[in-house]
Amino acid sequence: MLPKKKGRKPKSYYENLKLQEMSNNFLDISSISNISNISYISNTGFTGSDGEISYFLNDLNLQITPSSSSNKFVIYASVQYHTSASSNGVDKLSASIIRSTSNMSGSSWNSSLYTNLANNSNTDVEITSPTSQNKSLWSISSASTGEHGGTINMQVFDTELSALTKYSYAIRVNTEQTNLNFSNIRMSYIQFN
């Protein structure tokens, strides 16, 4: 008696495998309960000065009030930056998303109120160097590229929130660059239960 020849599985078997593989790559949107978006399409009131300086981008704050301590949020922020064509390019720029229980603006830093979400600590944003790593979510550190502008994109997954407390999120930058302008600021969040 000859051994039974193994045949190819039906086409539907392979189609189902492919569908199952694809479904594992999608975000389960059943747990999303809220989506919010704010944007500010203009130049900010701040530019860099001689020497290192940190500042918030205008007084744009994304507001969130969790309904439960189990709420989790993806915070997204983007902003375009540019400097004059007569400069050598953008030099030493770092950015991060900051969380606070009060609105943020200007250049002062309050370590008892502000949390840098790059490292979830009360340290200010710093230009990335070997001694100040993990103090920003985004950095560029060399004008030699001749880059006069670009887009900063950042996102964090924030899970350490108390219920019924209003939180503010803002973009804070640190730079040595003079005449640096920021525009088209966008911040948004997705809330997960």
Can you give the residue ranges of every domain in the chain?
A: 39-192
CA angle (166 as vertex; 185, 108 as ends), nearest 5: 55
What's the pLDDT at 113?
94
User: Could you give the CA distance from residue 21 to residue 25 in angstroms, rounded to a whole number?
Assistant: 7
What's the pLDDT at 182?
84
Please give the average pLDDT of every successive group of 10 residues along the chain, which has 193 residues. Answer: 66 69 56 65 54 79 88 90 73 90 91 93 82 80 71 92 89 83 86 82
What's the pLDDT at 5?
60
Is residue 124 within 8 A of residue 174, CB to CB? The reply is yes
Question: What pTM, to 2 d.p., does this model score?
Answer: 0.76
Which overall architecture, per CATH, does domain 39-192 show?
Sandwich (2.60)
